[in-house]
Structure 1
């Protein structure tokens, strides 16, 4: 499905540039460690800065001689689109332009400029761009808009454009359930053993939680642009599942959402390590800032008051208590003599600061730890309420990286019959319209 006009406008608004590379330059880039997924080039400052950070790059591959022409034909494409990831000075006279999310598109820039653009007011600009052999330059907004429209008319080009759009629509801060889903996918990939490069996922579909984009109400994952760096796409369906494979292992990630995001109160990540028979579930909660009082500071006999640092609190309301009660019904180790676990429980809470950058790690508490705090009276809040005090925890929690290692190794999580029982809880969660992101690790069948 082509992008909507407002989606195209989002892409164009961030700027468009044109990069020319010879076939040999493209082949040299393809032979590097990261290949064509992400690469950088240097240009004089005034050239590099004609392209805007975050903008769309039209990458044109050209042949310098007949031999190059044959190799270009073998490539099967001569035009790609990518994103200008960054522009930064690297030397006194030069800046580096980093490009990523590069994918080929159907058609060539020459055809688009010389045949596709028929508007009289744009023809002179199109001819000038076609004749320009500058390695890197900006494209005017009107001309760039028309080029993107022409690319969007070809359905095969939609995945490449959607991947650029996904980055523009990605949540940057923890302000909603959408950002929590984004973090859940990242955590799932890390728990699966993905490299830093594969710690994010970009998939098609407007408002799709799988990737860096929000969930759509029906959670339909479209059949284009499903992409994880370092993984091969195998299959997908409209239930919100995408399957990837890498080095003999398989990763399934599901999203399920049947309610508008604004009505969601939390996001769950479900991770099943099949090789260890261990299941772990993480529920996300927002920490809200609470203004502190004043403290008195004495310096050299002088005293003065200053505001205390704000506290970060998670209020435990009736809904929270109900969720914990449902977890506790399933939080039982039915096979204590089974595989070894440091902690045989399934349930963890991930606490993130509202409005914090999504790159922050947050903290994790097990359900058992939460109950321990409650028994000791450390969750008591004002007016008879309950709260989790981030400061009072004093570092007594897990960070994301440590938690991921425990999950990957199978040192935490359920075992045996408990795992089977919790799969029933997953189905119940889905049926209750809870937003769920699940990552399942399993070996690819030998046949």
Structure 2
């Protein structure tokens, strides 16, 4: 099954190849690693330095002498350990395994001897790679079609202009889709384009401006249950910010996009997700890797320190809530702040959220002080591989938030109203998503009765890996 996490929409024309032989057990491990992000890695012996960052069509053998899979691959960075890391993605199974000996017999041309040697394992040079592809086409048209489908010679559209308006649109939409998935609401309830042109965002304040059912906060009944939490909610209810109500089974989700400036002048968006049922809140700061595949990394901008200071100020306020000894208030950790690092933010065209990496703010503070975050000129820069396996995938993050395992405690959640008021008064876009149960009226006209929590399948017909409540 193809995966576009590393960007299958850009032209990809490999001039080299690589023959990788792994045991069936190791291949299963690679498949498991590939599930969260779409990519996996395998240690290989060093390749020539001139081949760094050059795409190679990878022929994978799980049984010696037979090619069973093909994939895109690349070695991005040099190694000092005697081994390089081969990054693999867009893995495809061949209709039938192809015998390497059969390919060797069909090799033609002056470089046939070089191709025969390369097929024993390792790097396939440019001239030998062409001979291998021609031989594969001669002996198995179906296998060649699968391998050739990974080669993309289309020119493709140029990268969109990096404007604050386009970034803010993408940030807002991803925050709303993430909120829907946390609440267990099918994301097809949101009919918003993933990307827009610069012309279409002119004068637009939020992604809900095009929604006919867009409403304002004072029309939302969902905040009635929160009024008891403090008078600060009354200020939020008086503001006329764009918002939208989503209802699905027993869940009601209100998403509020608090915009104080035109979208083209805004620099980013924070997601604040409040799970009213479990009394937990999480805060997410979005950041974007630069480059086609994130190869240019992320360098902390000047305003990041100010953003972290605001989070630290809120953390200090939350610390005054005291220790929550209740079962409902139990959390894995004390850090409700997270950073999401995204690739492909401005080229993502799927209906779901933008793939990315979630890390707690407390971990980020350690990471940027470590040698792993130091660039060649001793500047601070992080790349996707800097995090190694120390991050949460969107699936992991959504599941933990939906079950109340991360975020503020019940006691701390009661203290967040002043922060929300300050955030909405600020000059940044703050996405506030509040999840509540839909309560049917009681028969006697009294207080509505709470429904028992029902486990719902987010993706009907698909084999469940994580069940979100």
Question: TM-score by structure 1 length?
Answer: 0.48
Task: Write 1 or 2 for the structure with the bigger share of strand.
Answer: 1
